Amino acid sequence: MKKKIYFIQPSYRDQNGDLLKGKNLYIVSLSLPALSGVVPEGWQKEFCYEYFNDVNFDTDASVIGISCMGYEIFRGVEIAKEFRKRGKIVLFGGFQPHISREYVEPYCDSLIHGNPGMKEMAGILNDAELNTLKKEYYCKTDLDYKFDYSVLDSVKVSFTPVLLGVGCRNNCDYCCIGAIYKGEYFLRKFSHVEEDLEYLYKKTKNIAFVDTNIYNNREYLNKICAHMINRNYNFIWGAQCTIDIGDDKEVLNNMRKAGCRVLFIGMESTEQSNLDAVNKKYNVDAYQQKINNIHKAGIRIAGFFMYGLDSDTVNTSSTLSKFIIENKIALPMLNILVPTPGTRLYDKLKKENRILMKDEQEFLKNNPAYNSSFNLCFYTPKNMTPAQVEDGFIDLLGRLSGFGQILRRSVSTDIPLTIFLLYNNWIFRKEYIVLKRKKAIMNKTASK
């Protein structure tokens, strides 16, 4: 067989069945640069981000590696079917196939769990060459090597992804990361992150740390910030972290000096009983002070919130929107609660006979646009009907979609940040309009 592997990051089809394609994205998955870095010598490599380029079904590669992080799993299966017809060896990996193993197993020769390092990838490809592939490989979390950023086109990606580590020190019931890592996290060796930043410094000024929680290890984060300041990279960047960073003024100031301009923070709810019920160990009463400290450091906040938790009522859209407005959240990231298979929340709701999904992949099929929020209720709430949750969610979006609000949330002294916030707040408004129209059509049809 030819020793060549073709790595593919699939796009996905929208609600009309059209494959999403484009020339630019704000950020992409880091899976292909990470995978390229562990392919052993002697193997040729080919890559495809399908959002930008068409899949080369005529490739001479013998092995096809398909990586899926979420919605694109359905397109990944389409691609896998086509390549298997052509006699190729198909490997599936990534976050979503790990969760949806029973769905993808019939369409691949092997399913790769975890983050394979150089030794493990060499073993997998050696098995492929010898025709002795196992149906599944459970790999360690090995990210201690330099990523191959040559597979990314920085012109097409507004914010190039960078990784410090994976996992999270928290273990919330609704979180997929919590279900996989169970409160543990793994940091990359500092020298490898240095190598990545040094390479990117020559390519771009805009990066995004894609860790689930950049605040997993305070000392490590401070060390990264000091390095970026000393090297005078002048990166503009954002990251995802937990709200407790708002108590750490030293780290916040260091992050700002190092180029941080926005933090994506999962606050989830403004009701303490909701946080307690999903094992999220933070105090709602302390949110406001933490938010103020982050703002004082010169960093904007994109806030994740879930609608439809068990203590939510028909009045929650009003109280939650008021909180978002009063606390100057620059970008609201809103979703109806998703009981993701594999999480403790899913298991709890299933045990209580409250799951409404027809199959475990159904929650991935309801997005009308590439960055769309989860907008359907797949469970039986405690204080509302599923229809009330969906209607209340649309009402919540509407309360935050006015032109004036979009401008107030988006404008800042940093032009790249303003553009980023304006674009994403505009998408937020468009999603509200799409969902509102869709709901109106459904109501009109139901009334006939």
CA distance 419 to 417: 5
What is the average per-residue pLDDT within 122-151? 95
Separation between Cα atoms, residue 400 and residue 402, nearest integer Å: 6
The structure's pTM equals 0.92
Question: Poorest-confidence range of 207-221, 272-286, 422-436?
Answer: 422-436
Radius of gyration of the chain (CA): 22
Over residues 230-257, mean pLDDT: 97
Strands 165-167 and 185-187 come out as antiparallel
Instruction: Tell me the domain boundaries of the chain.
Output: 4-141, 158-438
Give the number of other Cβ atoms within 10 Å of residue 24's Cβ: 11
Question: Which has more confidence, 17 or 372?
Answer: 17
User: Residue 239: pLDDT band by 50, 70, 90 thresholds?
Assistant: very high
Q: How far apart are CA 265 and CA 274, in angstroms?
A: 17
CA angle, corner 76, sides to 74 and 78, nearest 5?
Answer: 75
CATH number of the domain located at residue range(s) 158-438 in this protein: 3.20.20.70
The residues with which 230 forms a beta bridge, in sequence order, are: none
Indicate the burial class of 266 (C-beta count within 10 angstroms; 0-12, 13-18, 19 or more): buried
d(CA 26, CA 299): 19
37 φ, ψ (degrees, to nearest 5)? -70, -15
Burial 312-326 (b: 16+ CB within 10 A, else e): beeebbeebbebbee
CB 109 within 8 A of CB 130: no
Q: What are phi and psi for residue 135, nearest 5 degrees?
A: -70, -30
- Residue 367: is its pLDDT beyond 70? no
pLDDT confidence of residue 365: 66
The string of pLDDT tens digits covering residues 56-110 is: 999 999 999 999 987 789 999 999 999 999 999 999 999 888 888 888 999 999 9
Q: Fold match between 4-141 and 158-438?
A: no
Query: Which pLDDT score is estimated for 366?
Result: 55
Q: At which residue do the structure tokens 């209580």 appear? A: 352
Phi and psi at 218, nearest 5°, equal: -60, -45
pLDDT the model gives residue 118: 94
pLDDT above 50: residue 370: no
Kindly report which listed range (41-45, 176-180, 188-192, 403-407) carries the lowest average pLDDT score: 176-180
Average pLDDT over residues 124-150: 94
Nearest to 287 by CA among 327, 238, 250, 315: 327
**Contacts (Cβ under 8 Å, ≥6 apart) of 340:** 99, 174, 176, 179, 346, 363
Taking 70 as the threshold, does the pLDDT of residue 448 lie above it? no
User: For the segment 173-227, what is each residue's pLDDT rounded down to a tens digit?
Assistant: 999 888 889 999 999 999 999 999 999 999 999 999 999 999 999 999 999 999 9
pLDDT of 447 > 80? The answer is no
Cβ-count burial of 184 within 10 angstroms (0-12 exposed, 13-18 middle, 19+ buried)?
middle
Model confidence at 37: pLDDT above 70: yes
Contact indicator for 50, 12 with CB cutoff of 8 Å = no
Alpha-carbon distance 37 to 45, whole Å? 10
Average pLDDT, the chain: 93
CATH fit for domain 4-141, picks 3.40.50, 2.60.40, 3.10.620, 2.30.110: 3.40.50
Q: How far apart are CA 72 and CA 191, in angstroms?
A: 33
